[in-house]
């Protein structure tokens, strides 16, 4: 008897930066982006910075963390992936305050 493929869901992740990590974040950002190429296709739906204030032209951004939307089977799968992220191992993200929420959208574009 054939087994059904695992079901996936979308998950919202919010993780704030540890204090005084702006320089380290900049140093690790290229590797953070490069490492995503090793993840399964469709895992990352989007990602970006969490800011203190809206980004405005001509004004420097004050990044306080990151937010991501991922498509995964479980919270455990997400945690295993994020534990290896250079922003975790490089002590930029505050792992202890990581927030992961399953979400639902009425219309999900195909990946």
Q: Rounded to whole angstroms, how far apart are CA atoms 38 and 19?
A: 29
The pTM for the full model equals 0.85
* The token pair that represents 49 in the structure block: 């910075």
Positions in the chain whose pLDDT score sits under 70: 1-2, 5, 108-111
pLDDT, residue 79, reads: 98
pLDDT, residue 110, reads: 65
Residue 40 main-chain phi, psi, to 5 deg = -60, 145
pLDDT, residue 105, reads: 85
Ordered domains of the chain (ranges, CATH) = 9-54+61-98 (3.30.70.1060)
């Amino acid at each position: 008897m054939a087994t059904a493929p695992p079901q996936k869901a979308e998950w919202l992740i919010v993780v704030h930066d540890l204090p005084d990590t702006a320089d380290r974040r900049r140093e690790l950002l290229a590797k953070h982006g490069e490492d995503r190429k090793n993840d399964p296709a469709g895992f990352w739906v989007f990602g970006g910075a969490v800011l203190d204030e809206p980004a405005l032209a001509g004004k420097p951004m004050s990044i306080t963390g990151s937010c991501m939307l991922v498509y995964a089977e479980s919270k455990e799968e997400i945690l295993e992936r994020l534990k290896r992220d250079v922003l975790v191992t490089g002590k930029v993200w505050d792992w202890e305050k990581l927030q992961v929420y399953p979400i639902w959208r009425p219309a999900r574009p195909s990946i």
